[in-house]
Amino acid sequence: MNLDDKKQIVTELAAIAASAHSAVGAEYRGLSVAQMTELRKQAREQDVYLRVVKNNLAKRALAGTDFECMQPELHGPLILAFSQEEPSSAARLVRDFAKTNDQLKVRMVSFGGELMGANDLERLASLPTREEALSQLMATMRAPLDKFARTVNEVPGKLVRTVAAIRDQKQAA
């Protein structure tokens, strides 16, 4: 790789890191080419930027971004996954892929400028997507109105049941 190629990779990775919500670093040693191709395919489908980069280039690219905290942990063969749309998409991708491929070992997770350990991957992956969060918010906002509507509807319903009970009682007598 010549100097221009390296500069291009650093620039591209820095631009992705500047706009990403979260990042996951995982050791891919032992994965076959077919498994890596499948991982890359799944990443494209989920809008996750996935890249194997030399650690020195990654350190330069992550400098000045929220993921600068990952620099001390960049050693060995790593694949970096950056969430572009949803904060949890990269973590979800790596978690799901690692379930079926034991060779993929999560080494670090970064979210909001904070470096977290591999054990925090599940916590980040379980965050709701934007649509799920909006639906939960709408359900929470709608619940008091639904309860009010049921309460208001119950008053005439109770009156009707009371009148029907009195009618039934008079007919029986």
- The per-residue pLDDT for range 159-169, each reduced to its tens digit, is 888 899 999 99
Assign 74 a pLDDT band (cuts: 50, 70, 90): confident
- CA neighbours closer than 13 Å in the CB half-sphere of residue 57: 21
Question: For residue 106, how far is the Cα from the chain centroid?
Answer: 15
Quick one: average pLDDT of 120-134? 80
Angle formed by the axes of helices 33-45 and 89-100, to 10°?
150
Assign 153 a pLDDT band (cuts: 50, 70, 90): confident
- CA neighbours closer than 13 Å in the CB half-sphere of residue 102: 0
DSSP 144: H
Q: pLDDT value at position 154?
A: 82
> Taking the model in full, what pTM does it have?
0.72
What is the dihedral sign for C-alpha 62, 130, 121, 30? negative
Assign 145 a pLDDT band (cuts: 50, 70, 90): confident
